[in-house]
């Protein structure tokens, strides 16, 4: 048996190890971003202030529903994985999938163009997958999931033939089955979102299924 030296153990403890929770089957990597550059660059379209790179992470704060859109068009069957952590107990980790790649809130109210996944929304009281209107009745919700401030979570969101599965640290969080899936040229984009809460994202990977 080979024993690890104290120095090797220290390096492993400090290294950010990749996660392998998802098991969505064969997939082709389309895009990845570790957010370790000086600026976001042309792969991202900002629709307002509040998104910045800081310490090797994408930090959003005070977005007020001005999503940060990935400019790369995505296929209908797709898996998106990333790490996220909230700075406070307010939670409110939010992303949008299958949106139009350009829309943002023009008033206090915002109706998304795609599906919105929310972890610890409404002051950390509810988590949800919603179709366009997060305040509407067409959504799947749970009150069992709560965000712990400072804890890093791994998201895996899989969309296949109208069904959206959200996994959190390898466990199924919610599933949304849409009988009329949002498809077509206006439904090809992914975005990081948010309202006021400070949230950090990292290790984004997008796969075609």
Give the model confidence (pLDDT) of 60-106 as tens digits. 999 999 999 999 999 999 999 999 999 999 999 999 999 999 999 98
- Total residues found in the chain within this entry: 209
As to burial, measured by CB atoms within 10 angstroms (0-12 exposed, 13-18 middle, 19+ buried), residue 136 is exposed
Q: In the prediction, which pLDDT does 22 show?
A: 53
Residue 14 DSSP code: H
CA dist., res. 205 & res. 188, Å (int): 16
- How does pLDDT run across 2-40, given as a tens digit for each residue? 444 444 333 333 444 445 455 556 889 999 999 999 999
- Residues 145-155, mean pLDDT to the nearest whole number: 97
Q: In the prediction, which pLDDT does 107 show?
A: 84
Instruction: Look at the alpha carbons of 157, 159, 165, 170 in this order and tell me if their dihedral is positive or negative.
Output: negative
Mean pLDDT lowest among 13-22, 113-122, 130-139: 13-22
Q: In the prediction, which pLDDT does 104 show?
A: 96
Q: In the prediction, which pLDDT does 3 show?
A: 46
Helices (H) and strands (E) in the chain, counts: 2, 15
Residue 176 has pLDDT above 60, yes or no: yes
- Residues 133-139, mean pLDDT to the nearest whole number: 87
Q: In the prediction, which pLDDT does 25 show?
A: 65
Q: Is the pTM of this model over 0.75?
A: yes
How would DSSP label each residue in 119-183? EEHHHHTEEEEEES-TTSSSEEEESS--PPTT--EEEEEEEETTEEEEEETTEEEEEEE-SS---
């Amino acid at each position: 048996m080979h024993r690890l030296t104290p120095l090797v153990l220290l390096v492993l403890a400090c290294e950010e190890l990749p996660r392998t929770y998802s098991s969505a089957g064969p997939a082709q990597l389309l895009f990845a971003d570790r957010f370790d550059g000086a600026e976001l660059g042309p792969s991202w379209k900002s629709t307002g202030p509040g998104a910045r790179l800081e310490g090797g992470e994408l930090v959003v704060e005070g977005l007020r529903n001005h999503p940060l859109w990935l400019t790369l068009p995505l296929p209908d069957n797709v898996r998106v994985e990333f790490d996220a952590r909230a700075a406070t107990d307010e939670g409110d980790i939010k992303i949008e999938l299958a949106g139009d790649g350009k829309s943002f809130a023009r008033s206090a109210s915002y109706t998304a163009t795609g599906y919105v996944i929310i972890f610890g929304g409404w002051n950390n009281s509810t988590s949800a997958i919603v179709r366009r209107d997060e305040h509407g009745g067409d959504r799947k919700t749970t009150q069992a999931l709560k965000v712990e401030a400072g804890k890093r979570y791994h998201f895996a969101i899989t969309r296949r033939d109208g069904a959206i599965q959200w996994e959190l640290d390898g466990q199924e969080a919610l599933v949304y089955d849409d009988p009329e899936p949002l498809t077509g040229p206006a439904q090809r984009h992914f975005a990081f979102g948010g309202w006021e809460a400070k949230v950090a994202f990292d290790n984004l990977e997008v796969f075609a299924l």
